[in-house]
Amino acid sequence: MSKADQPNLTDALVKSAKAEPGTRKELWDHRLRGLHLRITDRGVKSWFLRYRTTDGRHPRYSIGRYPGVGLADAREMAEDIVRQVAKGGDPATARRQARAMPADTVRTFNDLADKYEAACASGDYQPKGKAKRDTVLREETGILKRNVRPVLGPLPFDKITRAEVKALLKALREPTKARPRKLGAQVNRTQAVIRQVYSFAIAEELANLNPATGFAPLAAEKPRARIWTDEELRALWGALTDPSGLVAEDGKAVSVSENVRIAIKLAALLGQRRGEISGMARSELNLEARTLLLPAERMKGSKPHMVPLSEAAVALIRRAIEVADAGRDEPSAFVFPTTRAGEDRPIRPDSMSQALMRLCVGLKIKGATTHDIRRTVSSNLTSERCGVSPFIRSKILGHIDAGGGALVSSTHYDSNTYLSEKRQGLEVWTALLLEIVGEKERPSNVTPIREAVA
């Protein structure tokens, strides 16, 4: 039977497929060119991808064995390989040539996780066709350290079963004395990281099975919809200006450094992500032009993002730089540098979250996060209070939005930063916010932006 005559692959077909005695059977996927399942007469089923290199060769890349690698996983892994090939890569040849650490030195899950983290950090392993951002690497490292290594770390990585992974996730989901709140998203993130570690192991031919696949996420996730009210914004802004008088649950005064308080204020004024604020470099700023240019490597969408700055934002940034330079022999490269001796790096995004949590305890505001501030900015921008179009709102927030047109046009053929429209939108929001918190009256000549920008 030719490839064209074969039925398309389905989970049922893959599960039931058999080869006649003394033969080998290959089933080709119609959805992803080159992906196929090879079946031996002994019932061994293995996934492969055949691709074409720039010099005309057709290597065959071994993806892994079924059922450890299911149809959906095989397609996802094959898509990653296709992206590497499209950029001139030759994964099959690279696999043979690159063995930085011999397989026999990788025995435990900790060994495997070490190898995975090193390969991701160096860029040698790029499952999505591009190197992982530092923030993603830090998050994965933290999840492995807190949730996975204490349980699976000492075990032989190739002996860990799906049942053991599920048991770890179920235990993580349940509340404890030290952590009375039931976890949701963190459980699913943990499963995702374990799955990625084993996908790496399969790609490196260190393992054939992925024990973190084959079952649905164990925790239900509810998208957050928390919006700060005007009263809460007013209380928070007052505490960010002067936190004296706030008392924590233990009766002690709430203490938050001035620079972290300024960073939270900027998050409320600009609507940017906490990491984009906390990691702000002075080289990204043009205070005369009142702009902040976030480079691609600091953006979630991996595209540079120009943020217009209001006069209020510029004043806060100048104050933050003044505070940061006080007592330093040399100016820092960052607006919000860490106070750790001998280090010149920005504060971590968690510093803003932890500070906000302490302030909220003192203010008796419940269930609020730094990302809720961003959602509050977003919701107000497109409300009747500001009247900013959803398209310009997306541009302000740094989202990738086609604006009703073709995504390829927006992505590859549109270099317009919409700076003027973004500035106008943020000026309207800044005026509203400062009016809400009582710092100034809203100018009478500022009117809502009601016409969508095409």
Contact call for residues 14 and 45 (beta carbons, < 8 A): yes
Other beta carbons within 10 Å of 144: 23
Chain Cα centroid distance, residue 203: 22
For 281-293, what is each residue's pLDDT tens digit? Answer: 999 999 999 999 9
CA distances from 169 to 99, 193, 213 (A): 32, 12, 13
3-class secondary-structure state, position 81: helix
Q: Which fold has domain 230-436?
A: hpI Integrase; Chain A (1.10.443)
* Both structure tokens of 164: 């053991």
All CATH 1.10.150.130 domain ranges in the chain, comma separated? 103-203
* Both structure tokens of 169: 């996730």
pLDDT less than 70: residues of the chain: 1-5, 96-104, 177-182, 221, 401-416, 442-454
Output the pLDDT for position 401: 60
CA distances from 307 to 262, 380, 391 (A): 17, 18, 15
What angle is formed at CA 44 by the lines to CA 41 and CA 49, rounded to 5 degrees? 110
Residues comprising the chain, all counted = 454
Tell me the C-alpha distance between 262 and 243, whole Å: 12
CATH class of the structural domain 11-97: alpha beta
Other beta carbons within 10 Å of 337: 22
Output the pLDDT for position 163: 93
Output the pLDDT for position 408: 42
All CATH 3.30.160.390 domain ranges in the chain, comma separated? 11-97
Output the pLDDT for position 178: 66
Is 103-203 CATH 1.10.150.130? yes
Output the pLDDT for position 407: 44
Other beta carbons within 10 Å of 247: 11
Question: pTM of the full predicted structure?
Answer: 0.63
